[in-house]
Amino acid sequence: MFLLNLLDRTLSLLDRLALRRGDAEQQTEHLVTGQRGEQAAFFYLRRLGYLITARRWRSSRVRGDLDLVGWEKDTLCFIEVKTRSTRAVAPAEASVDSQKQKVLSRLAFQYLSQLQMEKIPVRFDIVSVYFEAGTATQFELFRGAFDWQ
């Protein structure tokens, strides 16, 4: 656990240094925030015992990506990460509407088709990450947030 925390802090520091140097200028601010959120969610889920097997997984057949894919015990979880810098607007998880759920379901089907495993339990989770000024990063995990669409 110590090494995981050390790696998390090291990557966060490197991200901040890259922003100061201007390396991230080519990306819009919301994309950088989203990437920071996915990284923070990765370490948060690892601390909860998830075994993450894929990050930003893409299929050649379906547009979009799966932010994180991992196992919680014997359940394969497809995890959508939503990041906000404030809670002043709608909750982050509210942006995973029915259209987004359909896309994630299609991507999950493609992911499963390449695993060559018999029936396994599958779940769709959402992690909301909040980077509010002056507070520690906050997480909300919604296990089984939605079903196949």
Going residue by residue through the chain (149 aa), what tens digit of pLDDT does each one get? Answer: 676 666 666 756 666 666 555 554 556 777 788 899 999 999 999 999 999 999 999 999 999 999 999 999 999 999 999 999 888 888 889 899 999 999 999 999 999 999 888 889 999 999 999 998 889 999 999 999 999 97
Count of structural domains within the chain: 1
| Domain extent for 53 | 2-146
What tokens were used for 109?
């089907």
C-beta separation of 127 from 81 below 8 A: yes
d(CA 12, CA 131): 13
pTM: 0.81
Q: How many CB atoms are closer than 10 A to CB 119? A: 6
Report the CATH number that the domain containing residue 73 is assigned in CATH. 3.40.1350.10
From first CA to last CA, the distance across the chain in angstroms is: 36
Q: How many CB atoms are closer than 10 A to CB 56? A: 11
